[in-house]
A = this chain, B = another copy of it.
Amino acid sequence: MHELKRLAERLVAGDLSAEEFLCRRKSPEIADGGDAQVDLDRSRRCGFPEVVFAQGKTVEAMEKIFKALIGHGLDVLATRMSAEQAVELGRKFPDGCHNPIGRTFRIPLSDQQPPDDCTGRVTIVTAGTSDLPVAEEARETALWTGAEVNTILDVGVAGPHRLTANLPQLRGSDAVVVVAGMEGALPSVVGGHVACPVIAVPTSVGYGASFGGVAALLGMLNSCASNVSVVNIDAGFKGGYVAGLIAKKVAEAR
């Protein structure tokens, strides 16, 4: 703090530009997790703590980050985790739950359960069986944001029986995530039934002219339903994050 004061005096004296002041001041809000830094201030700025992208990280590096997050009372979420990584981390963090389909690892802290009416409500809808891994990543992420999550699986555009069968639940959501490959038309159909934001997640499922999800992505961007916005192909994490964020905002205001 001493150092900070000295810098501030130089700043006021005009010796230092504000920018130089900023970059000399040592940021106390960033914990050093070895190779990758942990941005502990993020939770205040962005509403949620940092999420760990496991792919390419060593178990040791992740262990450090997890401990730093837990030490600050923050829930842990890691995505794109391999089965091998999960086994090792599971030994060290027995409270962690590994979702092998969604490839996530989540450590919920016990004191995080909010009173019931303050919980956001997210529904996740998938078009087909092969969209499940992306949907599971979205579901784990939305759970980690503190939302209550329901899922409606295998809803086809050409035969949307399951959708109409679940309308009441769908309409009670604060935000809906629709995960679909191929033509990507499902978000429009869902969007026409609900009065809340719909986050569309295109998947790389499909063959031929689906072009690894591009057809679905274009379909979703051109959706005729006004309440549909889109995230990247296979970006289950981002879909769950945005939906959870909206749900949290609404729930906090309730």
Which positions in A face B, CB cutoff 8 Å?
A: 1, 4-5, 8-9, 11-12, 14, 18-23, 25-27, 30, 35-37, 39, 42, 45-48, 51, 55-57, 127-130, 154, 156-162, 164-168, 174, 182-185, 188-189, 191-197, 199, 202, 204, 206-211, 213-235, 237-238, 241-242, 245-246, 249-251, 253-254
Contacts and interface: CB of A to CB of B under 8 A. Distances in A.
A101 to B, nearest CB: 12
A208 B226 contact: no
- Shortest Cβ-Cβ A-B pairs, 9 listed: A185-B185, A158-B192, A208-B233, A47-B195, A215-B218, A253-B253, A208-B232, A229-B229, A158-B225
A152 to B, nearest CB: 12
Copies of this polypeptide in the complex: 8
Contact of A56 (B39, B129, B193, B208): B129
26 contacts: A1-B12, A5-B12, A20-B167, A22-B164, A23-B164, A23-B165, A23-B167, A35-B154, A45-B194, A46-B195, A57-B129, A156-B224, A158-B223, A183-B185, A184-B185, A184-B219, A185-B185, A185-B189, A208-B221, A208-B233, A208-B235, A226-B242, A228-B231, A228-B238, A229-B229, A246-B246
Contacts of A206: 222
Contact of A185 (B26, B219, B226): B219
Contacts of A165: 23, 26-27
A211 B222 CA distance: 10
Contact of A158 (B4, B47, B130, B189): B189
Given A130-B56, A154-B36, A167-B19, A241 B226 contact: yes
A197 B166 CA distance: 27
A222 B232 contact: yes
Contacts of A37: 154, 161-162
